[in-house]
Every structure is written in structure tokens, then in C-alpha cells.
Amino acid sequence: MVVEEPSGALRLVGLSKRFGAVTVVDRLDLTVPAGSFFALLGPSGCGKTTTLRMVAGLTEPTGGRILLGDEDITRLRPYRRPVNTVFQSYALFPHLDVFENVAFGLRRRGVPEVAGQVRRMLSLVQLDGYERHRPEQLSGGQQQRVALARALVNRPRVLLLDEPLGALDLALRRRMQGELRRLRTEVGGTFVHVTHDQEEAMTLADTVAVMNAGRVEQLGTPAELYEFPATAFVATFLGRSNLLAGTVNGRSGDDLLVEAYGRRFSVPSARSRVDSGAVLLGVRPEKVRLVGTAEQVPAGHQWLDGTVTDVGYFGVSTEYSVRTGAGVELSVFAAADGESARIPAGSPVLAHWHPRHAFLLHHDPHHCLHHCLHHDLHDDAAAAAAAAAAAVRAGRE
């Protein structure tokens, strides 16, 4: 039933899920290479958890197929899939101790040598000696490890992680991220990680798919996504971006010329997703520098002038908000390298950047640019509640 073969990518072909009139996952095509650590990243309600549940067999797709290697598992019952899940709520069996929780999958499959495997797995997640503890006697982090061990002990072809670190506090979350990376190298196999935490996705995964409204907006390595986002959504969900609305009005060699807010900018065409019409010129806040006068702007850099309206001190960096003459708000991160003095609020400044750090995106005027620009860090509690609601919705069908 469960074949122990490492090969075989997980492929989602035209996968859809509708709950009534609401399309949660919309004709999703995705290939997760065997052996990769894959993150599905997106805001709550983007369909990532539903996608995961369809792979696990807990939610039935409305359309499309799920392939594991050459095998079509779309209609397989969950207990027949060589796939295991680490649930967001852990879902540990309260009537069983740690040992029996971890042994559960092995026992159901009638695997011999249960005790040895369970003990090895418990020591891998550093829970030796906790065999006879009940889940309610464990801390959140320990419960998390039991949930991981309970899934991993079955050597799943694909391990599904549903916001596994969402319920932990920040310090513990960082530690468990390291733990996950270590487990991944020791155990191997394909990991599919669902999260709304872009930092978690970037530090853990080797491939990230950014999901929005039931579709994948962009797929690539964390560096690819961050350095050259494909859409305004990705540019603002994965890290932050300054996006200037403008129009392409010419070309100069390998550069596209963009007019925005009455000024002319250039962007290398290799860093442009479009070459005409309405565009968004993007530049990451840490790529922007602030100087006092036009003479201080390095040659080849482009700039906007404005006034510092807010200064946020973060220790490793300082975040400035700059309101430009044209009325755009820019974010600027200045590394605390000890070279430059802090600029007080109210100072007139020039914000400048090198064109090779800019990128050009298609500007869909119907798109909620306002929302994207002011996209803030997600509220964990709200996201967890929304995910739980989605799970309930999914469970109800």
C-alpha cells in the first residue's frame, strides 16, 4: 500500500475547490519536485489550506487531479495515501500517551518493530523519556514535536505541514524552524508547508509558491521571488515594496523609460514584466537611500524628493517614511552600519536608488493597489481563526 520509493513528484493538475458559489482553489497547476521543501505562502483565505487538505484527502476536489509520481491519488481515501499531515492544532489523541500517538500510524499499517521506530523518532525530535506522558502534560512546543514525530515516523512520500508553527510564540517558532530544517535533512522526503508567514516560508523552503485568491501568483526560490516579484501582490506580500504608478513611454538601449509623478525613471528591460502601458515601478525599501542634497546622489541613481514623516528604530535598521512632493509615501530601510547619522522627522531628503534594483510590474488599475501598498504584517490570531473557519467549512461538505 505504502511504497517506500523516493522518486515521484507531487503534481496538482487543474485542481479546483468550490464551496457553494465561492471558489476557494481555482484551477491550480503546481508541481512539487520530489525531495523538495515546498512552501505554499499566502494570506488567510487564499486557498492554501484547502489545497493541502485536498492532497491529504480530507477535502474532496471539485475538479482536477492530484498525482503522486505516476499514480492518480485524487479519489483515494485519506488512509490509503502515502501522505501524512502535521495539523495546525496538532490534533494529538488525548486518550493516548506520546508513545501511542506516535505509534498510531505504524500500528494501523501493521508494521513490525513499532517500539524501535517510535523511540528513534522520539529521540530525533528530542522527546526521549516522554513516552508515557499524555499530550495535555506537554508544552505547546513539545506537542508540536509529537505531531511532527507522529507524521514523520510513517516515512510519508509527502509530509504536509498546515501552519505547524502558527500556535507557537515567536521565540519558540524560530527554534522550531531550525528544528524543521534539521529534521528535513535527517529524514528526507518531500515537505509541503502551508504558511501565511513570509519569513517562515523564505527561511525554510527551497521553493515558494505565493497563492492569492485560489491561484498561484508566482513560484520560485525565495531569492527569485524577493528580487524580482512577478506581481504587485507578491511584491508586497513577500517583504515590502515601494510601488510607483507610471507609464512606459520609451526605450533607451536595454532600459525601459517610465514616467511617474512627472519624473522620468529607467528600469532594465530584464527586470520588467511588461514593456508598455500602465506600470508599477517597484523598489525594495532597503535598496533606497536618503541624502540631503542633489549633489550627494551618486551618478546613475534616480531620485524623488520629499520629507521624512516618521522614523522607526529597529536596532538592526531604521525605517523612514518619506512623503514625496508628488504625494507618494515611500518606505526606506537604513541598515544600522554606524556610517550614517539618524535623520530626524521633518527633514527634507532625496530618496535615491540604482535602476538595476528597480523592477517593473503590470499595473492593473482594478487591482487593489491601495490595499497592497499598505499591506502590513498579518495578525496571527486572525489568520489562525480564518484558517480554522476554513477547516470547519471544508469539514462540513
Partner 1 sequence: MSRSGRGRVVPYLLLLPGLLWLVLFFLAPAVQLAATSLYDPAGSLTSGYAMTWSFGNYPDAVAAYGAQLGRSFGYAGLATLLALLLGYPLAYVIALRAGRWQYLLLVCVVAPMFTSFLVRTLAWKTVLSDGGAVVGLLRDLHLLAPDGRLLATPAAVVTSLTYCYLPFMVLPLYASLQRLDPRLLEAAGDLFARPAQVFRRVTLPLSMPGVVAGTLLTFIPATGDYVNAELLGTPNEYMVGNVIDAAFLVRLDYPQGAALSVLLMVAILALVIGWLRRAGPAEAG
What is the closest distance, in whole angstroms, from the C-beta atom of residue 91 to partner 1 in the complex? 4
Tell me whether residue 93 or residue 313 sits nearer to partner 1 (CB atom): 93
Q: Which of 162, 158, 165, 219 shows the shortest CA–CA distance to 191?
A: 158
Tell me whether residue 124 or residue 208 sits nearer to partner 1 (CB atom): 124
What is the closest distance, in whole angstroms, from the C-beta atom of residue 28 to partner 1 in the complex? 21
What is the closest distance, in whole angstroms, from the C-beta atom of residue 54 to partner 1 in the complex? 13
Residue count at the site for partner 1 (CB under 8 A)? 30
List the interface residues with partner 1, window 34-63 (CB under 8 A). 56-58
Does position 342 interact with partner 1 (CB under 8 A)? The reply is no
Tell me whether residue 120 or residue 264 sits nearer to partner 1 (CB atom): 120
Tell me whether residue 84 or residue 266 sits nearer to partner 1 (CB atom): 84
List the interface residues with partner 1, window 95-124 (CB under 8 A). 95-97, 100, 104-105, 108-109
Tell me whether residue 130 or residue 359 sits nearer to partner 1 (CB atom): 130
Tell me whether residue 150 or residue 173 sits nearer to partner 1 (CB atom): 150
Tell me whether residue 138 or residue 219 sits nearer to partner 1 (CB atom): 138
Binding mask 178-217 toward partner 1 (x if CB under 8 A, else -) reads ----------------------------------------
Binding mask 65-94 toward partner 1 (x if CB under 8 A, else -) reads ------------xxx---xxx-x-x-xxxx
List the interface residues with partner 1, window 272-311 (CB under 8 A). none
Tell me whether residue 77 or residue 366 sits nearer to partner 1 (CB atom): 77
HEC secondary structure over the chain: CCCCCCCCCEEEEEEEEEECCEEEEEEEEEEECCCCEEEEECCCCCCHHHHHHHHHCCCCCCEEEEEECCEECCCCCHHHCCEEEECCCCCCCCCCCHHHHHHHHHHHHCCCCHHHHHHHHHHHCCCCCCCCCCHHHCCHHHHHHHHHHHHHCCCCCEEEEECCCCCCCHHHHHHHHHHHHHHHHHHCCEEEEEECCHHHHHHHCCEEEEEECCEEEEEECHHHHHHCCCCHHHHHHCCCCEEEEEEEEEEECCEEEEEECCEEEEEEHHHECCCCEEEEEEECHHHCEEECCHHHCCCCCEEEEEEEEEEEECCCEEEEEEEECCCCEEEEEEECCCCCCCCCCCCEEEEEECHHHEEEEECCCCCCHHHHHCCCCCCHHHHHHHHHHHHHHHHHC
Binding mask 132-171 toward partner 1 (x if CB under 8 A, else -) reads ------------------xx--x-----------------
| Residues near partner 1 (CB under 8 A) | 2, 56-58, 77-79, 83-85, 87, 89, 91-97, 100, 104-105, 108-109, 150-151, 154, 391, 395-396
